[in-house]
Chains A and B, each alone.
Chain A
Amino acid sequence: ETGVTQSPTHLIKTRGQQVTLRCSSQSGHNTVSWYQQALGQGPQFIFQYYREEENGRGNFPPRFSGLQFPNYSSELNVNALELDDSALYLCASRAGTGGDPRNGYTFGSGTRLTVV
């Protein structure tokens, strides 16, 4: 299986609710990162998982959490949604946590979350 698949593609939630976004990474890609991209902005790093453990985090509050599973899938969970959480959420994966950075991340097409 090739590529990174994210689901759902679009989602509308109400402020205060919880949401789970899913990502299916390419086989062999044991590193997955999640990014938040607000409209008109560049992606902002949320966190990264390697072999099912978080090994890096950006400036996001604890209500943003994640899970990574042995089958190369992962989840981003956001609790107590706020209006400012409306954004495109991108999942990116690669093989290994170090190595040749030319092995760039493979990104999915994202989930567009709207909080009303």
Chain B
Amino acid sequence: AQKITQTQPGMFVQEKEAVTLDCTYDTSDQSYGLFWYKQPSSGEMIFLIYQGSYDEQNATEGRYSLNFQKARKSANLVISASQLGDSAMYFCAMRGGLSGGYQKVTFGTGTKLQVIP
């Protein structure tokens, strides 16, 4: 079975500062993918960044980077230079392999980020 754990229900960050959102995962699969999604109050899930389990480099997408530590099973999201528009719920998610089901994406419980002017 796959599991995603996000231990920070809520986070505050000052505008223009960097913030790290924590995510740990558990899976018995060797091949898997990790995602971060942003969910504003409108409800839609916006894809931010992806990290494959065999990727040697940490993923980066603009202001987003994923701090992937495979041995510790962690996949933290780092947002640099926070903007007011970054205020939203952030979900860590995993798409598994043979045991987890290739089709299924497992989500964590989310972290509510609030950017303070």
Contacts and interface: CB of A to CB of B under 8 A. Distances in A.
Decide whether A and B are members of one complex.
Answer: yes
A50 B101 CA distance: 14
29 contacts: A41-B109, A42-B4, A42-B91, A42-B93, A42-B109, A43-B45, A43-B91, A43-B105, A44-B107, A45-B104, A48-B103, A48-B104, A56-B102, A56-B103, A90-B43, A90-B45, A97-B103, A101-B50, A101-B52, A102-B52, A104-B50, A105-B45, A105-B47, A105-B105, A106-B47, A107-B45, A109-B42, A109-B44, A112-B43
Nearest to B91: A42
B68 interface: no
Interface string B80-95: 0000000000010101
A60 B4 CA distance: 19
Interface in B1-50: 4, 33, 35, 37, 42-47, 50
